[in-house]
């Protein structure tokens, strides 16, 4: 047996959803740079699910479906009010999304049509759940979704309880496009493994949320912001980074399993971070981030990944740190569900092997003799 720790370089499936070739990320053959500049998140989600960009009529239907599905069952809201207020938001999200299945009569309907509807429903309901969780944590009543608003607008509206400004909506929409899919990343793989047993789509997305939570994956964006808060000032960057490197500690938001010459999504978030800082008249977070990048890239050759500049982008949008990874999930649920549909379409259970390294030839010893 050849053991490949972390499955690095192992090709575990075929997929026609997204690809990373020579550092270029594409969704269904469209370069992420093109989509980040031009596509809305709804168009992107449609592309991931159905394989082509929507016509106006198709986009209109999707937008109406997303609006219709956005409200969540009252029972789920009542349960969320019972969660501890200081609990990890990704843990709360994982529980809430799992509980949505209990109120969906079609949860175990494995037909293609039912699963496509549930993919759209999960996409519609995840932002409602995250906004409700955020408000409940602050002892505020959840705000019902607004009809006819995009996912980005609706999320900020439900979060803040007022109409968001156009700049914030556009910035969040672009961030959602950039995070929507990423080939066989850890959370997508977790989702695919779960549904490859022919378990339901809610179970797949719940597994994926659990995998995204970790700081080596989606949780890194919150860890980056924690680091920026800990550093505090531009002058403190250099000694902080020096200390980290001397102690051989990882710097969150840097490095990637697949990209060794830089993550193509990072430059878009970097630009957004500067634009938002400039608009607000304070580029401290951006300046600190650039200085960290210069030092880490200069000394370790590591480049920032998607999580690095998203931390300063979300903070400058006025979004609290505890919501960064849940926002990642609001976007990535489009990719997760596209992959789950693809897995169902050509399924084989995913069951690798392990090389056994434990004790051998043990004989049972009665408990009183141990
Ligand atoms: N800071 C310092 N050193 C690093 C970092 C980092 N962020 N990332 C990698 N390295 C070093 C490792 O210490 C290791 O060095 P060594 O060979 O001297 O021991 C080498 O680079 C290879 O790193 P691995 O962790 O083995 O690389 P792997 O491909 O397994 O992991 C990962 C990739 C998890 C992204 C890693 O780079 C990391 O932990 N980064 C920080 C967390 C992060 O930002 N995660 C988000 C990734 S993007 C996403 O999931 C959305």
Q: Which of 182, 256, 268, 339 is catalytic?
A: 256
* DSSP code at position 19: E
Atom of ligand 1 nearest to the CA of 328: 51
Q: Would you state the structure tokens that stand for residue 96, as one six-digit string? A: 């809430």
* DSSP code at position 304: B
Q: What is the pLDDT of residues 107-138, one digit of tens each?
A: 999 999 999 999 999 999 999 999 999 999 99
* DSSP code at position 261: S
- Active-site residue 307, yes or no? yes
| Beta pairing partners, 254 | 304
Cα 306 to averaged position of ligand 1 atoms, centre (Å): 13
Contacts of 365 (CB under 8 A, 6+ apart): none
- Active-site residue 217, yes or no? no
* Average pLDDT per consecutive 10 residues, the chain (370 residues; last block may be shorter): 93 97 97 98 98 98 98 98 97 98 98 98 98 98 97 98 97 98 98 98 98 97 98 97 96 95 96 97 98 97 97 98 98 98 98 96 98
Give the C-alpha distances (Å, rounded to integers) separating 269 from 156, 212, 297, 314, 330. 18, 19, 17, 10, 17
Q: What whole-number distance in Å separates Cα of residue 242 and Cα of residue 244?
A: 6
Cα 250 to averaged position of ligand 1 atoms, centre (Å): 7
Q: What whole-number distance in Å separates Cα of residue 336 and Cα of residue 175?
A: 17
Tell me the DSSP string of 274-293: HHHHHHHT--HHHHHHHHHH
Q: What whole-number distance in Å separates Cα of residue 293 and Cα of residue 285?
A: 12
Q: Which of 181, 200, 263, 307 is catalytic?
A: 307
The model scores a pTM over 0.80: yes
**For the domain with range 38-215+322-345, which CATH number is right: 1.10.580.10, 3.40.50.300, 3.60.70.12, 3.90.1310.10?**
1.10.580.10
- Beta strands 24-27; 30-31: pairing state: antiparallel
Q: What is the pLDDT of residues 187-238, one digit of tens each?
A: 999 999 999 999 999 999 999 999 999 999 999 999 999 999 999 999 999 9
Closest CA to 132 of 81, 57, 172: 81
| Beta pairing partners, 21 | 24
Cα 252 to averaged position of ligand 1 atoms, centre (Å): 8
């Amino acid at each position: 047996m050849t053991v490949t720790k972390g499955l690095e370089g192992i090709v575990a499936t075929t997929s026609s959803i997204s690809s990373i070739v020579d550092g270029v990320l594409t969704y269904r053959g469209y370069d992420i740079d093109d989509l980040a500049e031009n596509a809305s998140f709804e168009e992107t989600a449609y592309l991931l699910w159905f394989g082509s960009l929507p016509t106006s009529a198709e986009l209109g239907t999707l937008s109406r479906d997303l609006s219709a599905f956005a409200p969540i069952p009252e029972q789920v809201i009542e349960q969320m009010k019972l969660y501890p207020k200081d609990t990890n938001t990704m843990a709360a999200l994982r529980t809430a999304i799992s509980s949505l299945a209990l109120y969906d009569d079609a949860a175990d309907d494995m037909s293609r049509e039912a699963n496509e509807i549930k993919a759209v429903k999960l996409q519609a309901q995840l932002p409602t759940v995250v906004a409700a969780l955020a408000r409940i944590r602050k002892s505020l009543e959840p705000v019902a979704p607004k009809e006819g608003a995009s996912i980005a607008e609706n999320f900020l509206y439900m979060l803040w309880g007022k109409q968001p400004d156009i700049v914030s909506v556009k910035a969040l929409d672009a961030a959602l496009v950039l995070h929507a899919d990423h080939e066989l990343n850890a959370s997508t793989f977790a989702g695919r493994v779960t549904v490859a047993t022919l378990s339901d789509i809610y179970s797949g997305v719940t597994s994926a949320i659990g995998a995204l939570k970790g700081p080596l994956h989606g949780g890194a964006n919150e860890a980056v912001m924690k680091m920026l808060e800990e550093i505090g000032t531009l002058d403190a960057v250099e000694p902080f980074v020096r200390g980290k490197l001397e102690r051989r500690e990882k710097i969150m938001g840097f490095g990637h399993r697949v990209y060794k010459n830089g993550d193509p999504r990072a430059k878009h978030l970097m630009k957004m971070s500067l634009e938002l800082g400039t608009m607000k008249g304070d580029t401290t977070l951006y300046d600190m981030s650039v200085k960290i990048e210069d030092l880490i890239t200069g000394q370790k050759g590591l480049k920032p990944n998607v999580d690095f500049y998203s931390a300063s982008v979300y903070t400058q949008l006025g979004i609290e740190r505890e919501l960064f990874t849940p926002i990642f999930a609001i976007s990535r649920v489009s990719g997760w569900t596209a992959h789950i549909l693809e897995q169902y379409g050509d399924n084989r259970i995913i069951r690798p092997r392990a090389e056994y390294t434990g004790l051998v030839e043990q004989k049972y010893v009665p408990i009183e003799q141990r």
